[in-house]
Amino acid sequence: MSNVCDLCGKKKVVGGSIVRKGLAKKAGGIGMHVVKNNKRTFHPNIQSVKIKINGGNKRVKMCTACIKTGNYEKA
């Protein structure tokens, strides 16, 4: 089953977790240097919600951002 929002199409995205080393310039050092860039995935907060569509009830997957908007009618 896919982890995608049915309203906005939000899905997981790939990014990086940056590891830095060194003393910051404002603390008297020569600055922070990037040591490592680990790949990671960011997952949306998908919830299963029962809503009314075309006069009937249907269970859909929605992200919490779409749930907060209230642009739907709960069943």
Q: pLDDT digits over 9-67, tens only?
A: 999 999 999 999 999 999 999 999 999 999 999 999 999 999 999 989 999 999 999 99
The Cα–Cα gap between 33 and 16 comes to: 15
User: Taking the model in full, what pTM does it have?
Assistant: 0.71
Domain containing 57 equals 13-69
Contacts of 62 (CB under 8 A, 6+ apart): 5, 6, 7, 46, 47, 49, 72
In a domain, 1, yes or no: no
pLDDT of residue 1: 60
pLDDT of residue 2: 83
pLDDT of residue 22: 96
* Total domains in the fold of the chain: 1
In a domain, 32, yes or no: yes
